[in-house]
Each structure stands twice: as C-alpha cells, then as structure tokens.
Amino acid sequence: MHSIVYLRVPGASLVLDARGAGVPSFLHWGADLGALTTSQRESFALSQLPPISPSSIDSPRLLSILPVESEGWSGTPGISGFRGGQPTELSFELVGAEVPDAASATFMLRDVSSELIVELKYGLSPQGVLAMTAVVTNTGSVPWTLARLGISVPIPTRAREVLDLTGRWAFERQPQRRDLAHGTWSRQTRHGRNGHDSPELFAAGTPGFAFRAGEVWVLHLAWSGDHDMLAESHATGQSILGAAELLKPGEIQLAPGEHYSTPTVLGAWSDSGLDGISERFHSWARAARARPLAARPVILNTWEAVYFDHDFSRLAELARRAAVVGVERFVLDDGWMTGRVDDSRALGDWTVDPVRWPRGLHPLVDHVHSLGMDFGLWVEPEMVSLDSELARTHPEWILASAQSWRNQYALDLGNPEAFANILGQLCALLDEYDIAYLKWDQNRDLLGGSTHRQTVASWQLMAALRSRYPGLEIESCSSGGGRVDLGVLEHTDRVWASDTNDPLERQVIHRYTSIVLPPEVIGGHVGERIAHTTGRSTDLSFRLATAFFWSAGIEWDLTSTTDDDLASATLWIAAYQRHRGLLHSGTVVRVDAADPALQTHGVVAPDRSEALFAAVCLTAPRDAASTGLVFPGLDIDADYRLDVLDLGAPVRHFHGSPQWLRDGGVTLPGRILSGTGIAWPSLQPQQALVMRLERL
C-alpha cells in the first residue's frame, strides 16, 4: 500500500522506504538526487541495501525512522518507556502514511503489543530545512511512562567529524570538535533551560569540514528545556545524529488516550560547509516568522550603565543622551520593582517601587517617548524571591529546590493559578504603560520539578502576552545566552547572546550563535571601554565594529562619556541604520582563517549587489604581513568597488597600511576579491576594519 517516499526541494532531498508493513527506513538525506521515476527509485532503494554482516541479524540493516531493539538496532532507541513498572518491548508496524505533496510526509506506526501509536512527521522546507516531530499516544488502557522519544537521522560513513557547542556564563557557544569513533558522543543538559553550555547544534561532516568547505549534516532542537543530543557510530556501519528532549524518570506519564509531542527537530544538509547550513537555517527562520521583524531598532539597555541604582534624574539624562546619538529603544533593566535594590528580593512582585518611582514609571516612560524612542522593560516572570509578597502569600507556588541560585527560586508556572497571577501582573504593567518590548530574563537552573511542564508554561506565557499585545516584542535572555533556540524565537524577537560585552569574546560567540540563528535576532551591545565581565580594555572602534552586524545596542553609561565618544556613537548608529536592511536580510559568510588570529565575516546581499565585511584581528597574527583577505559570496563575473566604512572611531594599525587602504579602497573583479583576495591590513590585535563592497 505504501511506496518509496521522495521529498525533494531545490538542493536537498530525503528518501524513505515505506514499502510494506515495516517501519519506514532512511535511504538518503542530503543532496537532491534529481528527478527519479518509480523504477529508478526502486533501483536506488535496492542499491542502498548493505550486505548482511557476519554475526548479524539476517536482513540488511537500514536505519528506521523509529529505531528500536526489536528490529536489530543496538544503538540509542528512538523510543523507550515503561508500563506498570516494566520496560515495554516495542515493535512497530506501519499502519498509515500520508504524502500530501513533494515536501512532506507523515507516518503512523503502531506498536504491536504495547498499545502505542507514534506519528512521525517530516517536512522539507523550500529552504532545505527538514522539520521533524514525533508524537506518541497511549492507546492502551493503563498509563504508559515515556523515557525517551527522539528523532534520529542517518549520516554516511564519510561524515567522520562532529562539532557541537558548549560554554559557560559570559562565554557561550564555544565550539568543540572530535572524530566520530565507534560509540556515542552525547550531550545531555539538565538545567531546566538551554543553559550556557547548550549544544545548540550537532554537526557531523566530512573530515576538516569548516565554514566554507565540506559536506555537513546538522540537527538543532528547537526547545528551551533540557536537551539530549547525540552522534553515534556503530561497528555495523551505521551512524546517526539524534535529538530529543531529555526527560526525567517518570516525568511524562501518559494516561490512556494522552499523547506527548517532541519539540521540533530541525535538520539541514550542506555541501558548502557551515555557511551553507546557515543559509538554509537563516532563510527558513526568516520565512517561518509568524510576524515579520520590523527594522531592528538600536537599543540602549541600562544594565551595565546603572545596575540597580535607579534614579530618575540619572536615567533621564541617560535617555536624553541616548536620543541625541540616535538610539531608538530605551530599555530599563532590572531594579525597578518594589524594594529591588539588589538581587536578593522582589522577584514575583511586578509592581513599580513607590520609593524610587513615586509617580510610577510614567515620568521616565513619558520622557523616553518625548525623545522619540520607544520604551522597553526588564522582567523575569518565571522567578520568585523568598523576600517578596508573592512568596509570602503563595509559598506553595515555589518550585521545590534545595538550592537558592542568585538568591532566587523558580515559580511553578505550570500551576494555573500561578500562571494567571503572573499573566495578570504583566498585563497590568502593559496596560498602564506604553511598553514596546520586554526583556524576558531567566536567571537560574531549575534543579527540581518538571522542566517539560515549566518550559511549556513559559512559552505559553509569552504566547499569551503576544496574543493580547500583538505589537509587543520580547527578548529571550537567560543570564545572558542561556536560552537561545529557534523554538523560543517563535514567541520572541531577539535573544541576548551573552552577558559579556567584551568584543573579543563576542567575536566567537557571534560567529557560532549565528550558525543557526540569523543575525537580526542576535543582540549585541557596545559596552564600556573596560568590559565589566572580563576587565579587558578595548578600543571603541572594535566595540562598534563587533556589535554592528547584529541586533545592535548600547550598554554603556553615556552620561560619563566624552563628546568624542558620543560623536562616534552617533556616526555608528547612522551607519547601522543605513545598512541594517542589508545586514539583516543577506547571506552570512565566514572565512576559514589561515591564521586563527585573523578572522573575516560578512553579509552579502541576496542579489550580490553589495556586501559588508569585517576583517578582524583577534590576537597577535602569526606573520607581520598576511595575504589573502577574501570576500566570499560575491558575483565573480562583476566588478566591485571596495570602500572602508567609517564607523566613527579610528582603527589602529601596526605600521604602514597596504596601498589599497591608503588609497581609500580598491576596484576589482568579484572573482579576485572572492578568490585570491587582497593584502591584509596591518591591524593591531583587537581591531576590526569594516568594509563595504558595491557592484559596479
């Protein structure tokens, strides 16, 4: 009754063998295989069958879409669980398949003995992103406890290297690589949020795959809770990437008739390295937004400027100066609630401090609006301080945890009364004040309770607010970059990439955060000369160039800056406003550096008519003079004019600049700029030169 399912979009395809009553198996995920007749599909299926190995099951092994032990799979099971305290032996058969078009398919599997139905959905987007979900329903008469339900995809033998991301506070999304040997490389995170070490992506590729080279397969779990990501290779010759929500024992109990859905797992394949993956994810994320993003406003965030020291005159002057330099959104960070003079109290009481704000926030909000900016406010709706009215009135709403963390506890948002209370408090604020933007923080690991329930509830709270206040924008922050994924971005408009505003750290954080996330949703701010998180001192030009490419903002006390600094900020904002259309719609490119000290990244317009690039010197370069500053992605048959973009502050060089720079730019064919390149400028460490290229 079923057939070989061939999902195909330009540049990518998925082929599944759904013939017969068995669970469909993967024949291919990767390049587009071209138009195939029915008989060619059958020949292809035949050609992919491996031999039967010695000491093996008596049929050829192909990875099924729901691999379990009973089919001869000895790797991580796609599904596992218990009924009545006993592990259930699972063995599925295909009971239904729908292939409504050339890009999507749904398969219905029934477990022959345990009374479960699993529905797996595959959708290949026009951008080549494979969206996958699984739903298990308990069709039996007694409860069934789910241990794991995940998505597994095959990777070929040639994908022998694995890249994933890790990190810590103020040092998020650091790459780590390894050879894929026999065994499982697994990243299980138990934070009750993504965490700073979140494996935001798992990539497997051909040896040496890089930003612009190699064939690579990537999975991303669009989920803001605990992750279970893996790359697994077996002596049988089978290798997989896998992604699932990590569940605690007994966390998901399905009563008869109940179901559990996995978060969406997003996959992408590229034969042009990680940049090819980014191109797919970015264009998918842009097209998938329910509400297209407006031009990303320049933000001033008050956190590092004043911390908890909320004083109207000081903030009013900060706002005045922000408006003078061209800031478009003023965001009042933590410290505005009743008694919130430090981080030990008041979470849960979303009321304005009557002592420091006797007339509420109105004077500040009105002042900000009168200066032509919109107003944003920090909140942390999922949390509660013991020293708060909320905790005193409803101690039963506090999620049990033996550990306080930043002096705070999580609120049990899965409790409908707690949820309604917080929603009510936030609505009261949004009704009273004209607030365009909430900076939504989450500053602790849960360390107890159900992460699943809490994550679902926090997304629901965001969704409830956005449906009541359709214009409201939300930023996802979690002690910096502890909640960054494409799932939370269905409910939010920006992520705070990290609490570090040190541009040297940010260069790496941006480079890797933007493999999956498009640049316009990644918040990057210009901080003080001496970074608060690292104590490192950097020039203004480096800070400006580093924040320029993202959703840009300022987190710097403009009331204590020089007039020169304000003039620089003004020029920088004007340049950002001129170029954000390109920065936030183009194709992100990153050069694989010959010398790791010298990095190049850029954005090329979809029609390749213009591009912006940054040449960045991170640390002392190996050579006194380097060749090959290249600008990939240009139209190789056209000529381009390259000019340095003045961001308002001088860039420091070691000694004499190359002639093209002293001439103020150069005109060359795209073929040369993209290929051979030009002489590197002699940038000092922690300097960046931003250049604009225009097709002639």
Residues contributing to the site for ligand DGJ (CB under 6 A): 303, 333-334, 378, 441, 443, 477, 479-480, 496, 499
* Minimal distance, residue 299 CB to ligand DGJ, in Å: 12
Nearer to ligand DGJ by Cβ, of 333 and 592: the residue is: 333
Q: How far apart are CA 81 and CA 417, in angstroms?
A: 31
Nearest of 80, 81, 85, 63 to residue 72 by alpha carbon: 63
* Minimal distance, residue 501 CB to ligand DGJ, in Å: 9
Nearer to ligand DGJ by Cβ, of 333 and 610: the residue is: 333
Nearer to ligand DGJ by Cβ, of 347 and 368: the residue is: 347
Nearest of 512, 483, 534 to residue 601 by alpha carbon: 512
Burial code of 34-58, b = ≥16 C-beta within 10 A, e = fewer? eebeeeebeebbeeeeeeeeeeeee
* Minimal distance, residue 566 CB to ligand DGJ, in Å: 23
Q: Which amino acid is at 534?
A: T
The secondary structure element, H or E, covering residue 546 is helix 540-548
E strand spans, 158-264? 161-168, 171-179, 183-188, 202-205, 216-221, 227-233, 239-245, 252-254, 259-261
Q: How many residues does the chain have?
A: 696
Q: Which one is catalytic: 349, 353, 499, 502?
A: 499
**Catalytic status, residue 441:** yes
The answer to whether 472 and 432 are in contact (CB under 8 A) is: no
Q: Which one is catalytic: 333, 334, 441, 502?
A: 441
Give the β-pairing of 329-332 and 374-379.
parallel
Helix (H, G, I), strand (E, B) or coil at 567: helix
Q: Which residues are CB-contacts of 52 (< 8 A; sequence separation ≥ 6)? A: 58, 59, 60
* CA atoms in the 13 A half-sphere facing the CB of 165: 31
Report DSSP letters for 622-656, one per residue: SSSS---B--TTS-TTSEEEEEE---SSPPPBSSP
Nearest of 156, 154, 155, 274 to residue 209 by alpha carbon: 274
CB atoms within 10 A of CB 104: 16
The secondary structure element, H or E, covering residue 315 is helix 312-325
> Two tokens at 226?
């605990």
Nearer to ligand DGJ by Cβ, of 61 and 191: the residue is: 191
* Minimal distance, residue 464 CB to ligand DGJ, in Å: 22
Q: How far apart are CA 631 and CA 591, in angstroms?
A: 8
Q: How far apart are CA 447 and CA 410, in angstroms?
A: 9
* Minimal distance, residue 547 CB to ligand DGJ, in Å: 15
* Minimal distance, residue 383 CB to ligand DGJ, in Å: 10
Among all residues, whose Cβ is closest to ligand DGJ?
Answer: 334
* Minimal distance, residue 436 CB to ligand DGJ, in Å: 17
Per the DSSP assignment, residues forming a β-bridge with 228 are 188, 244
**Catalytic status, residue 499:** yes
Helix (H, G, I), strand (E, B) or coil at 279: helix
DSSP 482: S
Give the position of tokens 């409790």: 415
Q: How many whole angstroms from its chain centre is CA 9?
A: 24
Helix (H, G, I), strand (E, B) or coil at 443: coil
* Minimal distance, residue 406 CB to ligand DGJ, in Å: 8
The secondary structure element, H or E, covering residue 476 is strand 473-476
* Minimal distance, residue 380 CB to ligand DGJ, in Å: 7
The answer to whether 554 and 648 are in contact (CB under 8 A) is: no
Three-state secondary structure string covering 42-57? HHHHHHHCCCCCCCCC
* Minimal distance, residue 228 CB to ligand DGJ, in Å: 26
> Two tokens at 148?
């794991």
The residues annotated as belonging to the active site are: 441, 499
